[in-house]
């Protein structure tokens, strides 16, 4: 039975379940979100809210894999028509165009609620450096929320939105996740477009995703991740983002020594338990030399990368120095003392450490670290803002510098009720593999809640890997459907029907002329309504190869995006072949067309 709306979690699965059951509609959820925000108060989590009427109007028209899913963005990410402040009111401007990542998520039906608080100019891991107030941990108002993506993490953990975007340069998309019992997926640099994001360190920044479950974070990332030619630091992934089956004999690296918990014995205990839980699930624990990673972490606030922070806002910092937060200003203006020689020396040192770390990666598939060694009271951070912030970056600062992927995962609670988190780290573009490992680890926790909500993790679906190696999932749309004339070609190859699904928006569907047997053509033009029924069949690679050889032009096999954001191989048609065809998109599938 669907839970009453007032107690309904906003995780994506819960909302989709409620929508499918007719328990509520997107506009009802939007109304509920604004009621929850009004009850909690806008500050200090939010800087700017989308007018409720505008969000409601978008909810009425929402279509796509994230239709009706409310989300938030950190206020260094542009949203057309809303001010971008970077937590500095005097810096504010109103962009005419949203960031690419926001455009992609809204096109998928997600409903933007507003822009969230942050450490000013994304400089800090604490969440205390903003004139808009200090967000606190959702579990204890005396403790920090973590930063710099403070408001985004709190909004997700407290059930105000389903997911939120942050940015991560030094750990800003991971530390707040750990302090609020949620997931923080930090993609490989360049996997998600940073066009429309005010940079902290432009060569090191990445947009990150906060969510209540890894399944949710993966669903959002699968839509957000795409090469963007307008972002000069965008990179073409070796493979599309998707949850991937970990390798057999998974090797997980843990430091042989040198771990620092800053006197937090409970954090150390919970970390050791996470290592044990992975081992119990079959992972081989490998001790590694953590020194090159630790030394790289210490470089982030030296040389090139402090200079990059100044480069991002140099004109404003020079003209309006009084507008900067005291601590942020001291850090950024410190770059004035750096020389070009020191910048190159820092870059050379990082290259040396990265090469040294390669030997460690030969012994492991992923690394497991504490996200932070401890946490702090807000009052303690205000009294010692530099050193305590530095402590929090011990296990996060090196990741982007060394071009690694990372996923922050909840890992239990201290006796005082404060959450602890661990981070899985892998090579670049191993994001999908980390998602599978992280989800399995997350689900070993007993009675695990989602953020600070009442919903339990075991009530949500696991992050399902794509078809294991040696197998191929194929989407069929016409004559190969169950009961149709060419379905025997699948049966002859011992293919197995897995599920039925529908395509994402952007596809048009045509009845082709002059084919025997009758066949349809599916074409992606970015404008079609989509929602076309498909069947997903699973077969081995050898069978797939012989199956593809049977397909006559103008049909072929390409990559389809489904309504849930996942990618699968499937039938597509060459565009020239639909010039004389009948557009049957409105029927939603081949069977419906045949039954007309």
Q: Which active-site residues does the annotation give?
A: 74, 148, 172
148 upstream amide cis, omega within 30 of 0 = yes
118/124 Cα distance (integer angstroms)? 9
Q: Where are the beta strands (DSSP E) in 350-418?
A: 366-370, 404-413
Q: What is the pairing mode between strands 251-255 and 366-370? A: parallel
Order of strands, sheet of 555-561, starting from the edge strand that comes earlier in the sequence: 496-502, 533-540, 471-476, 567-573, 555-561
Segment holding 141, helix H or strand E: strand 140-144
Query: What span, in angstroms and rounded, lies between the C-alpha atoms of 37 and 91?
Result: 26
Annotate 507-545 with b (16+ C-beta within 10 A) or e (fewer): bbbbbbeebeebbbbbbbeeebebbbbbbbbbbeeebbe
With 0-12 / 13-18 / 19 or more C-beta atoms within 10 angstroms meaning exposed / middle / buried, residue 342 is middle
Would you call 578 helix, strand, or coil by DSSP?
helix
What single string gives the DSSP state of each residue in 503-542? Answer: BPTEEEEEE-SS-SS--EEEEEEEEE----EEEEEEEEHH
Q: Which two tokens stand for residue 130?
A: 């903003």
Q: Where are the alpha helices (DSSP H) in 174-322?
A: 175-179, 214-224, 265-280, 291-297, 303-319
- Say which residues have a Cβ less than 8 Å from residue 544's Cβ, sequence separation at least 6: 472, 474, 493, 569
**Euclidean distance between CA atoms 173 and 221, whole angstroms:** 13
Count of helix runs (H) and strand runs (E) in the chain: 19, 21
């Amino acid at each position: 039975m669907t839970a009453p709306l007032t107690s309904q979690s906003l995780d994506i699965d819960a909302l989709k379940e409620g929508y499918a059951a007719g328990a509520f509609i997107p506009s009802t959820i939007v109304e509920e979100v604004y009621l929850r925000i009004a009850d909690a108060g806008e500050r200090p989590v939010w800087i700017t809210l989308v007018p409720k009427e505008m969000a409601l109007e978008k909810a009425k028209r929402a279509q796509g894999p994230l239709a009706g899913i409310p989300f938030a963005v950190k206020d260094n990410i542009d949203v057309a028509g809303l001010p971008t402040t970077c937590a500095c009111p005097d810096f504010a401007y109103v962009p005419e165009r949203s960031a690419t990542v926001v455009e992609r998520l809204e096109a998928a039906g997600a409903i933007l609620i507003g822009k969230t608080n942050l450490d000013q100019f994304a400089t800090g891991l604490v969440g205390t450096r903003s004139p808009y107030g200090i967000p606190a941990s959702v579990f204890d108002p005396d403790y920090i929320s973590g930063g710099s993506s403070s408001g985004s993490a709190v909004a997700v953990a407290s059930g105000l939105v389903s997911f939120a975007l942050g940015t991560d340069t030094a750990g800003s998309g991971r530390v707040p996740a750990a302090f609020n019992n949620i997931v923080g997926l930090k993609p490989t640099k360049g996997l998600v477009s940073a066009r429309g994001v005010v940079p902290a360190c432009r060569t090191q920044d990445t947009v990150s995703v906060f969510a209540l479950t890894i399944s949710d974070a993966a669903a959002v990332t699968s839509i957000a991740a795409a090469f963007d030619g307008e972002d000069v630091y965008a990179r073409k992934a070796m493979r599309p983002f998707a949850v991937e089956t970990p390798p057999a004999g998974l090797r997980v690296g843990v430091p042989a020594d040198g771990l620092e918990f800053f006197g937090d014995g409970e954090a150390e205990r919970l970390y050791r338990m996470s290592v044990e839980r992975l081992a119990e699930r079959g992972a081989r624990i490998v001790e590694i030399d953590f020194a090159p990673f630790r030394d790289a972490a210490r470089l982030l606030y030296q040389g090139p990368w402090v200079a990059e922070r100044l480069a991002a806002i140099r004109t404003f910092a020079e003209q309006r120095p009084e507008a900067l937060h005291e601590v942020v200003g001291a850090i950024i203006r410190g770059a004035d003392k750096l020389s070009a020689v020191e910048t190159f020396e820092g870059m050379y040192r990082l290259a040396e450490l990265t090469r040294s770390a390669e030997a460690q990666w030969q012994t492991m598939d992923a690394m497991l670290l504490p996200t932070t060694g401890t946490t702090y009271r807000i009052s303690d951070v205000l009294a010692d803002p530099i050193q305590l912030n530095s402590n929090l970056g011990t296990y996060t600062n090196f990741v982007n510098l060394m071009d690694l992927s990372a996923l922050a995962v909840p890992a239990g609670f201290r006796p005082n009720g404060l959450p602890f988190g661990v981070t899985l780290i892998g090579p670049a573009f191993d994001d999908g593999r980390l998602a599978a490992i992280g989800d399995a680890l997350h689900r070993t926790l007993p009675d695990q809640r989602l953020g600070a909500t009442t919903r339990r993790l075991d009530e949500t679906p696991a992050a399902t890997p794509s078809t294991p190696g040696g197998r191929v999932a194929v989407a069929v749309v016409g004559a190969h459907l169950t009961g149709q004339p060419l379905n025997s070609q699948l049966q002859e190859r011992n293919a197995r029907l897995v599920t039925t699904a529908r395509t994402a928006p952007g596809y048009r569907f045509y009845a082709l002329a002059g084919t025997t047997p009758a066949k349809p053509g599916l074409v992606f033009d970015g404008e079609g309504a989509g929602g076309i029924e498909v069947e997903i069949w699973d077969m081995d690679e050898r069978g797939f190869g012989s199956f593809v050889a049977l397909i006559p032009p103008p049909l072929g096999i390409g990559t389809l995006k489904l309504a849930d954001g996942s990618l699968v191989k499937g039938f597509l048609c060459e565009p020239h072949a639909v010039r004389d065809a009948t557009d049957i998109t409105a029927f939603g599938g081949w069977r419906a067309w045949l039954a007309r």
